[in-house]
Structure 1
């Protein structure tokens, strides 16, 4: 069981900014020590629900390991949702800090522990000022973002019921701390994966003429697929097709019967998905035939592009600027970035916005997401708490209490 969210203070002390920040850091470190993979976040969910109980926040189960918290439900203003993802990745942590993962082969390598702690910190602050909120606030602690389509299941279970808008964010180590991006339109790409099995006829390496070589065909398919973006998609549309593995195990003197390719697709424009999928099928089939080999092609759409709604993006930019200052925009980062997010499901259902907030403060927080050396920057916790408080219309802490940020 997790320690109480206010383990370093008491529930009456949560309007004290310094106590709130220290408790959110402790909560983040607890989640980091005990990561769980998508759809297996049982203990993570228990910790979140225990903390909500301790804060006196009404909650309900959503999507099994997901949790919905509710504040100011009788308020008459616009009803907003604030979202955090809670799952970890199948990566063995290479860090040795005190809060390193205790689960072998599993770690919070994308910062979902920090996202959850920031939302819990915001929940505590909003609860302390619940009577001042102009409209209802729904807190979405979502499972299975890492390829598990958790947002889709949350929607199916009614997570967006009654909401007028939704907001989310992701820490981003490639952006300096104190900078961010939150554009109108696409902020993150859509994605998909593919598998291609090339079936030929193996034989002795000394007699290739008596075989139908799937390895040679795999090389040709790989080279041809990498040219989809450079020759078949307009340069104005950001897209990526990457062959990420070739598997054709055999002996040094043996041409195998088959070879398998796998890869990733990234798209910024949703209209490009069907075109790229069709080209992968067309090219793989034609190249295989040229080498006397058959191609079996499987394409798996994953997430659509995360596309901000202009009015809500403007609202979120105002909240970011109020906290980070007038020069908050990191113009050096082209958007959309080609990573993907299942927050896209929410933005297809109702207005909202998603921001990338910089993590790199020069103190080791430059390691990219999904690296075994990654660690979330705890300095982001008070930043996001204030941004979420602004979005919800809550009062903010006195400036004098922000010195430890």
Structure 2
């Protein structure tokens, strides 16, 4: 999307700059067509493209992100392709350690084969040795067959009587097939519904639903805290108006007043003082534990809420940026009156970099909570829109704001004033 914005700025500044360089823009203005009227068809075209960019950004990109992220997740969690190299022990197959002395140029012929079968979980209780053989993959790629020749298979069956009682067998063979299961190397696709909760995979309506859900959950957290803490804080049992009035009427009619002391414990009997302390500590620990859990949960939900709101505004800001950079590029080309890769390219790059940097800074400020998502995501637009209006005003008046000769004349006049004063 940012590539389109960059090309948008360069294209219009270069195109209109070419018209100004060849005096075609002057001919258009002399015929009674103002710059604003000349830019109207381009503005309408860009408006249509901006709406199309919004639709694409709202519908196509989330679906593409969902497929890309799920595929990337599956690739990261899948095993690499089995690669058995000559002269090295390979542990790519689970439960087996394989060593091949030599490997033919055809990639199938193998010699001096040594296989440690550890699939039983009892160590190297089965060992296979062969002089030569072939590696034959199945047509569907799910299995790999080692067709071994002139070898021997050693097997040790463990018994409870100790190592001396173990049964050992040895089997010689002229040809024997050992089949390995390669299903663990297959790319298993994860259900894409597991990734639909990420903000990158949502459109506007889904983001609105997620924002409402987070707000409702935040209210639920507050209610949970209140319902748990209130029983420990007895004064809150009188929070209703009727109980509150009755409670203070009782205080007003009480004849015996207890003077406040610096320590409430000093007014208690020694027999119940320790019990009160232990009960108070237990209550405080319970309240603190619950508050820690809920604060952590609320912090996570607040981060999710910021991400949803930032993504919501991003879908609008990028589309509006197409129009904004057109409003900068078109009058910029009219003022510079040069085409090609010179001045138009230089100023276009500068304005695009300013827009891009401010956008990144605003987004990071929104993520950190320093700015509301609305202010952070529209920060670049709000700062460049006055510049666009300023350039349009200067282009209407045929200003020479970017003409170097104008500044040379200005500095020469200042120099002459200093020379006269001397």
Calculate the TM-score normalised by the size of structure 2. Answer: 0.19
Q: In proportion to residue count, which structure has more helix?
A: 2
